[in-house]
Amino acid sequence: MSAASPSRALARARAASASSTAPSSSTESPPASRRPRARPRRARAATLRAVTPRDAEIMTRVCELARAREGIAAPHPLSACAVTRGDGDVVVEATHAGQGSTRAEIACADEMRRRGATLNSSDRGTVYVNLEPAHGEVAGETRSVEALAATGATRAVVGMLHPLPGLRGRAVRALRERGIEVCVLEGEAEGFEGEAARACRETNEALLYRVATGLPFSVYKYAMTLDGKIATDTGHSSWVTGAEAREMVFRERKRADAVVVGGGTVRKDNPRLTCREETGFQPARVVLTRSLDLPEDAKLWNVRGVAPTIVCTTKGVKPEFQNALRAKGVEVVEFDELTPLAAAQYMFKRGFLRCFWECGGGLAAPAMKSGVFHEVLAFIAPKLVGGGALAPTPLGNLGIEAMHDALPLSGVRLEIYGRDILIRGYVPN
């Protein structure tokens, strides 16, 4: 997220957070009932170490580590951990790789134990986590906090509190009850602390949106000519942008749990929708088609060794074709009424955190209208194609009659890829 104003969903997530009982800023004391007994307030304040630029630097690194698992970690949040000595030297760092793998905090403690590198109080060590780990009754889980304490660090820097109300502030309290000094970056808006806090929020923005909206974080990406067309009047669109922009799109696909298109794009473009890497993670390819009027030999039906494909369609439509797709390993999901919102809710239930929509304007318009999209990535290529009303544009009719009712994006950023410009921003919702 850029330094500009955050979207309302994020603001809502944060407001919900702020209204919880947990402390929200850096070195606040825990509630009196939970404070370690008989610790004079002035003496405690004297021992608090303020957040330093080195803390911010390490937290930024922790965020980078966490983001390297984007697309893989879902439905878990992106989290990583680092442990330093008092001089700021990193002793160990680890990332939570995803479902079924060891949590980052536990991996750090295990590695330190293995190396005989566990800290003692004279080391004045610090543990860093970009996201408060799940802890306590709701998660039924105390291992992360125990692992953080087992590192021997006397201080913890937590990038942001857990967004789920039942988990929010629990691990921070538990650490403080174990005598560990805790600084929470959330709530910091300026300076190096604010930068690090923003990096932590951005790292798990999909989770924040998921909590705030009950939908996966959905990005609508399109590429258009300078005259606003996503294809020619014949529907041809390969390629609007240059190689640099396309490389960026492959990277964005890799960040997502699903890449989503409508039937129109399958019919016209016959896309593969992969990250163009032979090995490693590939997001699921999701097609929304009410009619199931799709080619029998589309590239998306080639799933084995490539990437999973999920077809969302209308209940009972073309049963023979459905069976043929299933026989190829394609998952077919039937809906009483297929809408972008119903499909997004389905993807939410599957645990998808981030969906990357690469459809045309036919599907994008109802998706935008029903509040499914959270961010727009618009590539603009410096070329003109004309085509009048026959050449498609990025959005069908939204029913907006006056310009002052146009949807204003927030947190807008400009990036350049070769000759193409990318404008990205958050949708108001």
What is the closest distance, in whole angstroms, from the C-beta atom of residue 290 to ligand NAP in the complex? Answer: 4
Write the binding mask 335 to 354 for ligand NAP: x where contact by CB under 6 A, - elsewhere: ---xxx--------------
Pick from 220, 81, 217: nearest CA to 153: 81
Stretch that binds ligand NAP, among 44-52, 121-129, 196-204, 288-296 (CB under 6 A): 288-296
Asked if 225 interacts with ligand NAP (CB under 6 A), we say: no
Closest contact distance (angstroms) between CB of 44 and ligand NAP is: 56
Catalytic residue positions, numbered:
105
- To the nearest 10 degrees (0 to 180), the angle between helices 170-177 and 143-150 is 40
What is the smallest separation between the CB atom of 331 and ligand NAP, expressed in angstroms?
A: 16
The single residue among 215, 231, 381, 427 that binds ligand NAP, judged by CB under 6 A, is: 231
293 binds ligand NAP (CB under 6 A): yes
Task: Select the residue interacting with ligand NAP from 81, 83, 215, 363 (CB under 6 A).
Answer: 363
Beta strands of 213-360 (E only): which ranges?
A: 217-225, 258-262, 284-288, 309-314, 331-335, 354-357
Establish if 373 lies at the interface with ligand NAP (CB under 6 A): no
Q: Which is nearer to ligand NAP, 307 or 381 (CB)?
A: 381
Name the nearest CA neighbour of 240 among 249, 231, 253, 248.
Answer: 231
| Rounded distance between C-alpha atoms, residue 366 and residue 357, angstroms | 13
CA–CA dist 208, 204 (Å, integer)? 6
Q: Whose CB is nearest to ligand NAP?
A: 264
Stretch in the footprint of ligand NAP (CB under 6 A) among 147-155, 208-216, 260-268, 324-332: 260-268
Residue 379 DSSP SS3: strand
- Side chain identity at 233, as an amino acid letter? D
In sequence order, what DSSP letters do the residues of 49-86 get, joined into one string? PPP-HHHHHHHHHHHHHHHTTTTTSTTS---EEEEE-T
- Interface pick for ligand NAP out of 286, 288, 303, 377 (rule CB under 6 A): 288
Residue 257: burial class (beta carbons within 10 Å; 0-12, 13-18, 19+) = buried
273 binds ligand NAP (CB under 6 A): no
C-alpha of 293 from chain center? 33
For binding to ligand NAP (CB under 6 A), which residues are involved?
222-223, 230-231, 235, 237, 240, 261-265, 268-269, 288-291, 293, 338-340, 358-364, 366, 392
